[in-house]
Amino acid sequence: MNERLKKITFFALLFLLPVGTLLLAEFVLRTAGFASERRTPFKTVENEPGWTGFNPEYPGRYFRGFLPAVGFTPFREERSSSSFRLVVLGGSSTAGFPYQWYHGFPTALEKRLMATLPGKEVEVINLGMTAVNSYTLWDLAPHVVDMQPDAVVIYAGHNEYYGALGAGTTPGFVPKGVWFGRMQLLLKRSVLYLALEELIMGPPDYGLDPAANERTLMARVVQNAGIERNDSVYRAGVRQYESNMRSVLEKLHNHGIPVFIGTLVSNLAGQPPLSDDRDAMAAFDAAQEALSRGDTLRARQLFVEARDLDTIRFRAPSDINDVIRAFASRPNVTVVDMEHVFDQLSPGSIPGHELFTDHLHPTAHGYDLMGDAFHRVLQRDLLQRRDTLAILWRQPLEIDQLSASQAAILIDRLLSDYPFNKNVDPDEAGSKHAQQLRIRRASGNLGDSLAVQIMTTPLSTQEALYVAVTISLARTDTLAALRHFGSLLHWQPFNEALMRDAVDLALQSQTWDHEVEKLALLGASRTDDVYFWNALAVTQLRQDRPASALRALAEAERQEPTSDVLLYNRARARLALGDTVGARQDFNAYRQRQ
């Protein structure tokens, strides 16, 4: 070996030695299963072979002192040929805060899709998480592609400043730029990186220490509260959103996946600036004055200005919506103008507490409006189905007592702390919160009592819903029982017996047909039991919608052509439509089987 070759070999080995050592360490740690419970985005559903769901430990990669809850929206590991799969991405509004995930807009969308696509196995997979932003969407995009969805829905952009890796929460000593945030997330895919992080910084506590919960998350995440419009941090937030989302949209487009992205909405009339910025407060006061004299157009402009000048940036500024609207020019991207939807349904076209629980999270009715808006655009641009069930979704939306109480407690706690109450003392805030819980516990309201128990005892929400159903039935409060049943079924989407019990109860009176529709749609989409399609047909007949009943019965016939109930109900539907010949044939066939 000549001298030159020896030197090349030496330096090659010198380089390969540390690289090989790192690779070996990575292999050993992976083989040993280090941090395996939080490295995989999806995990198999226990006792349900072939089904998988979002891993509740996975969001820990974005935080160290907080673990956002994720919805339980399972889907098949191997896609069914008859399925329609939709993935929803976003932050806390996508997760449904302050409600459980099943009262958020993805579930409202799912119910409408079930009615639009009878016979399809509808899978709406909600990957929304509190306090995450476009970095998380960028990180999840490759996993979303692997899921092979028919479409992706996105509602995100409020957390670009104070969310995970946000422009306003990045410490001053950390390098700035989108490249660094993405590099961190790429490195977190390495087990060696996670091991070193844990060795140096200790294991993540995810905020489970009681001391960490003395303040709300909003009070804890802000490191750079004052972000002036158009300063460097402000521009960095808009830039990171545009760059990350452009990358997400490009990746999804390259795999032929259409995207429906919503503009962002927030409370304008009911939320004063969270900061003490003089210009923001002046704009808000001027907006109120304009509103008082009936000049709603000028009032709206000033309310928007007040929000955009607010230096505590928990509400996305107009520049983020401008970025979203510009995405409409990209291939395979449809922008859903949620801002316009909320304006249309707000007094003076100025959204306030009629549709919002706080500064930006919609009420249950607001979430239902969002689900409806996304559904209408999906139906128009992607599905184009005519053979739908004629479910009426415009009736006043009510949720179960437990969910309403849980949401109210969360909102009370949120509004009692920073930045809504800037001078609050943590001990005083904790004391007031405890007092509020005592008052609710003694209120005599079933939802309040159970919600407080969930927060102060080991009682889980799922267990509390069982209790709520039992007590409501004992009180002969059928409507309350049905609504609690509806929530419970989202925790137990494979419990066919529970679905049947709920539908059996609701079918006893035409009064509850709106509740039957929601319960039976879930059963029909999740199981092969013809019972749920027949139940749907009954509700449609009782509401004078025979054509819709026939659509449900077509699915019943596909599953069980010889069903006696099918023949009887179809005879009624045909008779209502004037098809006396067909009705007589079905009725005669029914009588022959009796």
HSE-CB for 469 with a 13 A CA cutoff: 20
What is the spatial distance between Cα 255 and Cα 264, in angstroms, rounded to a whole number?
26
Distances (CA, A) of 545 to 369, 539, 563: 24, 9, 21
Q: Phi and psi dihedrals of 261, rounded to 5?
A: -115, 130
CA dihedral 361, 367, 370, 375 (to 10 degrees): 150
Helices (H), 202-256: 217-221, 232-254
Condensed to tens digits (0 to 9), the pLDDT of residues 415-439 reads 888 888 877 777 777 788 888 889 9
Which residues make Cβ contacts (< 8 Å) with residue 62, sequence separation at least 6? Answer: 68, 129, 132, 135, 136, 139, 164, 165
Maximum Cα–Cα distance for the chain, whole Å?
A: 101
Please answer whether residues 502 and 526 qualify as being in contact, where contact means their C-beta atoms are separated by less than 8 angstroms.
no
Please answer whether residues 489 and 519 qualify as being in contact, where contact means their C-beta atoms are separated by less than 8 angstroms.
yes
Please answer whether residues 329 and 249 qualify as being in contact, where contact means their C-beta atoms are separated by less than 8 angstroms.
no
What is the spatial distance between Cα 94 and Cα 153, in angstroms, rounded to a whole number?
10
Q: Running DSSP on this structure, what letter comes out for residue 68? A: -
Q: What is the 3-state secondary structure (H, E, C) of 412-452?
A: HHHHCCCCCCCCCCHHHHHHHHHHHHHHHHCCCCHHHHHHH
Distances (CA, A) of 259 to 112, 144, 198, 206, 360: 18, 12, 37, 32, 23
Place of tokens 């928990």: 314
- Beta-bridge mates of residue 42: 54
Please answer whether residues 441 and 449 qualify as being in contact, where contact means their C-beta atoms are separated by less than 8 angstroms.
yes
Extract the residue ranges of the chain whose pLDDT is less than 50.
210-212, 223-224
Q: In 103-254, at which residue ranges do the beta strands (DSSP E only) sit?
A: 121-126, 151-155
pLDDT of residue 427: 73
Architecture of domain 403-592: Alpha Horseshoe (1.25)
168, two tokens: 């306003």
Distances (CA, A) of 300 to 272, 359, 419, 470: 13, 16, 23, 47
Residues shown for the chain = 594
pLDDT of residue 210: 47
What is the spatial distance between Cα 161 and Cα 338, in angstroms, rounded to a whole number?
21
Is 243 strand, coil or helix? helix
Please answer whether residues 169 and 223 qualify as being in contact, where contact means their C-beta atoms are separated by less than 8 angstroms.
yes
pTM greater than the 0.85 cutoff:
yes
Nearest to 275 by CA among 238, 317, 323: 317
DSSP calls for 462-514: HHHHHHHHHHHHHTT-HHHHHHHHHHHHHH-TT-HHHHHHHHHHHTT-GGGHH
Q: Burial code of 69-93, b = ≥16 C-beta within 10 A, e = fewer? A: ebbbbbbeeebeeebbbbbbbbbbb
- Beta-bridge mates of residue 356: 362
Distances (CA, A) of 31 to 34, 58, 190, 199: 8, 19, 13, 19
pLDDT of residue 306: 98
Condensed to tens digits (0 to 9), the pLDDT of residues 139-160 reads 999 999 999 999 999 999 999 9
Is 205 strand, coil or helix? coil
Which residues make Cβ contacts (< 8 Å) with residue 386, sequence separation at least 6? Answer: none
pLDDT of residue 484: 96
Sheet-wide strand order for 259-262: 121-126, 83-90, 151-155, 259-262, 333-336
Q: What is the CATH number of domain 42-275+310-383?
A: 3.40.50.1110
